[in-house]
Chains A and B, each alone.
Chain A
Amino acid sequence: MYSVKEPDLGTPPSQAQASVSLQVDGIPVTVPEGSSVMRAAALAGAKIPKLCATDSLEAFGSCRLCLVEIEGRRGTPASCTTTVAPGMQVRTQSPNLARLRRNVMELYISDHPLDCLTCPANGNCELQEVAGVVGLREVRYGMKGENHLDAPKDESNPYFSFDPSKCIVCSRCVRACEEVQGTFALTIQGRGFDSQVSAGGSDFMASECVSCGACVQACPTATLMEKSLIEHGQPDRVVDTTCAYCGVGCSFRAEVKGNQVVRMVPDKKGKANDGHSCVKGRFAWGYASHPDRVQKPMIRAKITDPWTEVSWEQAFAHAASEIRRIQAQYGRESVGGITSSRCTNEETWLVQKLVRAGFGNNNVDTCARVCHSPTGYGLKTTLGESAGTQDFESVEHADVVMVIGANPVEAHPVFASRLLHRLRQGAQLIVVDPRATELVNRPHAAAAHHLALRPGTNVALANALAHVIVTEGLVDEAFVAERCEAPAFERWRAFAAQPKNSPEAMEEVTGVPAAEVRAAARLYASARNGAIYYGLGVTEHSQGSTMVIAIANLAMATGNLGRKGVGVNPLRGQNNVQGSCDMGSFPHELPGYRHISDASVRASFEREWKVSLDPEPGLRIPNMFDAALHGSFKAIYVQGEDIAQSDPDLQHVHAALSAMECVIVHDLFLNETAKFAHIVLPGSSFLEKDGTFTNAERRINRVRKVMPPMTGLADWEVTLGLARALGLDWAYEHPSQIMDEIARLMPTFQGMSYDKLDRLHSVQWPCNEDAPEGTPTMHIQDFVRGKGLFVTTEYVPTEERTSSRFPLLLTTGRTLTQYNVGAQTRRTENQRWHGEDRLEIHPHDAEQRGVLEGQAVIVRSRKGETRLRAHLTERVQPGIVYTTFHHPESGANIITTDYSDWATNCPEYKVTAVQVSAGVQPLGAK
């Protein structure tokens, strides 16, 4: 059921440039060529009844309610499938039309339960509304004929019910599943009177449905209905906000009754998601009110002591006194903080400011350290800006898409739907991944090339692609000559052309047949528009930064930068990874990616903050752990990150946390890190605060408070309280004031304000005098650094090697229904889909080890061992095993190593040599 409060123009907008003028009920209106009469009428203010039409779906023309009369034309055509023409005179109301519409409604209602007063859609039902509009007063056929009123409900899905007795077979759900989501899970089964919506399996949960909810949103009746709405009733207000899960950053309308969220409806105005969502964003928000939420600040002297609840004031005073005590004893550099990519830009800004201005050092880092820090380094080096180059809409203009080390169908599902839509239109796909991800072979969109490389050999493969491009005359010479530094390019060209980088030479390293590499390189380089999208399968390697550089090299060499449909696009993991990096969360950079050694930049912050800043880089997260074990790092303030679960080589992490004298955890839940904490500050969910998130396309979206903070303070107010206890004179009364400060100090945010965000809905940075409404595509005329810089990318094998003791390579990834370490999604019904992490192993490797499907196995690495249940699948190659990491008990990071990216220390999660053997219960880490 679609939100009643959003206008629905009936059919999607036409993208045509030319316009057409016509009259609807005598009212002149001008619309783009190719628009439907229905849409033109809606824009003219004329309301045409409709049931099978909605503006998120292509016109279907089945319900026969939207009939109109057109001067000079015979009959009563459906306005949804009739396109406008110059000078057209349309009548939307006449006695004849009224009669026809009433007749149609009579037929619908003769097979529909008349339970409007007890129906959950009461007051927000399109069928009910149309019955009123057409003036239906009787059903001449009666209600006793053959009907579907006793059709059984399907309640299998935890989030929505399917009541076929209310279905009018308008096919909106089926079309939404196809056109919007791209899963094709639903169909109309049977013919004529027997036609019914079917999910294919015995019920929705047993089907291929991914619970994105597009069908629920499209349904014009109560057939597909959110269970939360059935429980709570219709909302009384709506708050526009932004999802707090992945880096797509979907816009939502939170429909609320009192302080109870009734449902989350994706916002059609959201440019990141265009009204679509996934199972997490739309449905998995119950964690926000989960009883596990920490309600009160707590302190304890030792981590073996029980917790004592205290007031906020006591907690702030205690935390401040501990920080000052430790600094007095061990030095100013002995304390630090970690910002959260789950928190808002404003909150992240305050934490890094607290460290820099309050702690007096640069020991601030963020969870991007363990995911996309190489993106920052690699793109800054080559292009001049630490961010992706496009907006998501750009993929709809791509002709060849290369997805490297990313699985958007699982991890960025709303972007994946856009990508799949483009692939169905004919764009070609290259997948570079050790595993046959969900993109590789779908019924409606298969990859032209799957380069199934060995984990850890990304750079070798990229060099092989580059070799083909430079030796087969595929370089865009004009682009390179105009846009890039010539000497560096010539060095790179000579490097790439070396025989050692040929696909044939690299085949032994990567395991990818040379002919396949050559074909993929030709396809990408020859495309009119070639776009690269990549994920953590690129960055979480010892050569993560090198690979990002290699990707930028490929894009520059082929001229695939600076316009729609191309680009280098990191798919960010968390909702605000981009933002947390933008806000100066790295220990070597002030906000806006400006090095701390830059005296003039530092001076601008010093003037604003009225403190003297440390000009030296601080510790990165892994360095903090090492320094803790060395005795020079003694206290940490961790906002919204579970480092005791999410970071690699956990025994090392746990030892480091145990060595600290003050660990302050600021989080929604008593997470794994809280086991090592001395102070816990309760966090607030995204529903409980104002602020902004910045998604993977540099889009700044507003987060708006839907309900008061459960604990009394939003996260930004908690950091504010801590800062004041430390003696800082901070006077923010609203996050908008923090954004104003950001705009004063960051040139790329210079034109940003909450007023502008309210007006434009979202803005992509840079937003300044040159681009007052933001920048969807970067590097159009020049690169941010001026000329693009090619950098040679020698392949250096990881030190993590297989051996006779550890003959398999473990790599990791995510699944659709869970999110990162699972702190949120494990506290929702999403557990029904993924209640445990499993180890994917090839049947050949399993047979050699006597491992059976579903059996518990021991996974040993050089760092430790854990137990997981096995899943035998040819999705992984022989020699490679794979697991997700959403459950703490599976202990994936017990076995990962401390190897990391050379430039940024981003951990090498994606390559761990392991042995797998048939094990016994219990599951979990040892």
Chain B
Amino acid sequence: MDADKLARMANQIAAFFATDPDPASASAAVASHLRRFWDPRMRRAIFAWLDETGGPGLSPLALQALQDHREQLLSTTPRNPAPATA
């Protein structure tokens, strides 16, 4: 995935939630958006880029959200067992 594009998208998301006066709440909102709308490979890709480069160009809130919620963002929910067929 194009890391520059992912970083730009993360910055856009952070810019929307930046009006939240509570920094922790803003960080959580950014992370929640990424968790709910980004395919896991996109989340993995931005962390791979972040780990490799330190995230140049990321806005402070975007960077904070990635750092604060790394585990949540890199986790995936396991599938339910396949239901029995009739």
Contacts and interface: CB of A to CB of B under 8 A. Distances in A.
Interface of A: 333, 363, 491, 495, 542, 545-546, 587-588, 595, 597, 599, 602-603, 606-607, 610-619, 623, 626-627, 629-630, 632, 792, 794, 796, 799, 898, 900, 902-905
A616 B39 contact: yes
Interface string B29-43: 000010011111110
Contact of B80 (A588, A612, A799, A900): A612
B83 A610 contact: yes
Nearest to B6: A626
A790 to B, nearest CB: 12
Given A626-B5, A902-B16, A612 B79 contact: yes
A846 B6 CA distance: 38
B85 A610 contact: yes
B36 A903 contact: no
Nearest to B82: A612
Interface in B6-50: 8-9, 12-13, 15-16, 18-19, 21, 33, 36-42, 45
A750 B8 CA distance: 41
A597 B42 CA distance: 17
A313 B37 CA distance: 37
A611 B16 contact: no
B36 A588 contact: yes
Pairs A-B, 5 closest by C-beta atoms: A902-B12, A615-B77, A792-B19, A612-B82, A612-B79
Given A333-B41, A610-B83, A902-B15, 16 more contacts: A545-B16, A616-B77, A617-B36, A617-B39, A619-B41, A626-B2, A630-B1, A630-B2, A630-B45, A794-B18, A796-B15, A796-B16, A900-B9, A902-B12, A902-B13, A905-B9
Contacts of A627: 1, 39, 41
Most buried by A among B16, B45, B76: B16
B73 to A, nearest CB: 12
Contacts of B84: 610
B81 interface: yes
A613 B83 CA distance: 10
Contacts of B36: 588, 595, 597, 617
Contacts of B78: 615
A457 to B, nearest CB: 16
A568 B2 CA distance: 36
B79 A615 contact: yes
Contacts of B19: 495, 792, 794
13 contacts: A491-B21, A546-B16, A607-B83, A610-B84, A616-B40, A616-B76, A626-B2, A630-B1, A794-B19, A799-B8, A902-B12, A902-B13, A903-B33
Contacts of A610: 82-86
A492 to B, nearest CB: 10
Nearest to A630: B1
Nearest to A545: B16
Contacts of A796: 12, 15-16
A632 B45 CA distance: 12
A903 B37 contact: yes
Contacts of B77: 597, 615-616
Contacts of A546: 16
B76 A612 contact: no
Contacts of B83: 606-607, 610-612
Contacts of B16: 545-546, 794, 796, 902-903
A898 B4 CA distance: 12
Contacts of A626: 1-2, 5
Contacts of A905: 9
A610 B86 CA distance: 8
Given A626-B2, A902-B13, A903-B16, A613 B41 contact: no
A612 B81 CA distance: 6
A606 B85 CA distance: 10
Contacts of B81: 612
A617 B80 contact: no
Interface centre among A602, A630, A902 (most CB of B within 10 A): A902
B22 to A, nearest CB: 11
Contacts of A616: 39-40, 76-77
Most buried by A among B19, B21, B84: B19
A358 B25 CA distance: 38
A619 B36 CA distance: 12
Contacts of B76: 615-616
A363 B39 CA distance: 9
B82 A588 contact: no
Contacts of B33: 903
A623 B16 CA distance: 20
Nearest to A794: B19
A542 B79 contact: no
A603 B77 CA distance: 14
Contacts of A542: 12
Contacts of B15: 794, 796, 902
B47 to A, nearest CB: 15
Contacts of B42: 619, 623
Nearest to A361: B39
Contacts of B5: 626, 898
Residue with the greatest number of chain A CB neighbours at <10 A, chosen from B19, B21, B41, B82: B41
Contact of B79 (A587, A614, A904): A614
Contacts of A799: 8
A627 B6 CA distance: 12
Nearest to B79: A612
Given A627-B41, A902-B16, A903-B13, A602 B1 contact: no
A617 B37 contact: yes
A626 B38 CA distance: 13
Contacts of B86: 610
Contacts of A603: 80
A353 to B, nearest CB: 15
Contacts of A629: 2
A837 B85 CA distance: 54
B12 A588 contact: no
A900 B37 CA distance: 14
Contacts of A623: 1, 39, 42
Nearest to A597: B77
Contact of B39 (A495, A587, A607, A898): A587
